[in-house]
Structure 1
Amino acid sequence: MHARAARAPGLFAALPAEVSIFEVGPRDGLQNESTILPVEKKVELIEGLVDAGIKRIELTSFVNPRWIPALADHMEVAARVRRKPGVSYSALVPNLRGLDSATRAGMQEIAVFMAASQTHNRKNINKSTEEALATYREVVHEARARGMSVRGYVSTVYGCPYEGSISLDSVVRVASGLLEMGVYEISLGDTIGVGTPRQVEYILDGLLAAGIGLEQLAVHFHDTRGTALANITVALQLGVRTVDSAVGGLGGCPYAPGASGNVATEDVVYMLHGMGVQTGVDLDRLVSVSAGLSGQLARELPSKYLKAHLGHCARLGRSVT
């Protein structure tokens, strides 16, 4: 028999009692799909996720349709989703024109997006880091003047497909710049899925040392190399309380070749519930939404929990829903 390794006392003692799930599938996921869902199916997806207990959700992106054709229906989607009390609905906005559209669609929260990498900013939004910060300063100021709250995304935090390693100073500079504008929360994105647990610790410690509060930070991991759940666990033990994820593991980045999808919402929820951390999400209802989405997109989704659940149902001869 093998000797059983002694468990370190309090190994998971710092895990929170509750975590906020920020669902990005309808925007960050669907924008990369070759199959474009009709408006009514997108609305059905969003409302199904909310009915499953999702309290924070990104609906779409008010970007020029030439850049993201899959989200060309942003006005219709945002206007047709029935708002449920107690749920925060957000949308990505790249500029003042997008902000005007978001305002007309009744959005109360928007998000702005930029990278810690100069090259990625050039490729993604056709601006340098300095130009992007200047543009978003105007957008954030105007949004807040209209009574909107603003969330910020910083991508390529753990690595860039064009530059490779990204310095901590670059991450701090962009995150601090967004917070100084009045962004209430920064989502730290692992765009190409290269982050590892010790790297997560290094980045978070660096941001805290720069005076950024844990309550201002969220994590957004892609599972390209299978490290997303481990990275999330480390972030939560260090004090982060908000996790971005996408139903079914949808997503990726059109400007990051080889990047796979976001960590799947059902994988995150299963892990957290198994560790006694509450999310407010009904996992059975969530996986039913995910299974339906897989059928609509006519492809297998990356979610490991979904695959296991479908296999279990098949063995028992049961319907997923």
Structure 2
Amino acid sequence: MAHHLILFIILLYTAVTVSITTLNHVSVREGGTVTIPCLYDSRHKLNPKYWCTETLWRLCTVTAHTGYTDKTGKWLITDNPSKNIFTVQLNNLTTFDSGFHWCGVGIKESLDEKAELYITVQTAPDLSVMSSSVTVDEGVNISVQCLYSTKYKNEPKKWCNIKDQSCHTVGRSGTSQYSVEISDDGRGSLTVVMSGLMKSDSGWYYCSVGDLQAPVQLTVNGKTYCSVEQYMTLAMGLQLIRVKHLFITTFNYFLTKLIIFCIVVGGNSNLLLIIIITSLVSVKIFRVVTIFTLRKGEELEPCD
């Protein structure tokens, strides 16, 4: 009975404390850079985050820590509490960096949360992506190309969301919000096309080929909608331009009539000529500027 109770407590503790999600196995080009996402539970927003290296957790050496700047530029750790994620950028990787690494959340000694992954540094990586960061506007399709080596030709291929671990296989599939189409040319290239994206779809995804994964950060920019005040301001501005245009047109009409009247009645011809030229030039310039402003105003698109 006591044995079962102890086992139950261990299982319960494990289920509660496993709260970090990351990748399992990443292949990186020698001399290259990779950014590893580490997702954590919302209750750890204020806890320190770190990255360490070693096969065994107990012997792990911390190489990056929030609040600490690595002067060598080898590791860069960035915490984003609003999204419950911290990322670790590893630069100028060598074959000596191959091995086990850990995402960690500092709590208290042995209570620290952690998640393990393996990094393989190769001259020609078995799996890579053409672009590890993609930014698009809402409604715009994206295309991600994943490149794999020939020995992974017959391995299962997927496109996954790291947050909920939902995956899509080769072919066409989708969610209630966006659709995914994956095509494999069988010669080392996997193409992922996502359509119908919304801002809420921003996050970390990865190509998966066999046991390897390649992370991709997707940023979807949301549309900016005008407020009622903005629309009213724009409408009032355009109306004002139209009124000014009408005023100039009317002024030009009466000025022309006045000139004709002066010619008929008679007067100093030189003075009259100066008045005519000056008035016409002034009105013409003002009218051209006003018409130009009016057209530009009508083309305004203050909000997408």
Q: Which has the larger radius of gyration?
A: 2
Return the TM-score normalized by structure 2: 0.21
Higher strand share: 2
Return the TM-score normalized by structure 1: 0.20
Higher helix share: 1
Using CA pairs under 8 Å that are at least 6 residues apart, name the structure with larger relative contact order, 1 or 2: 1
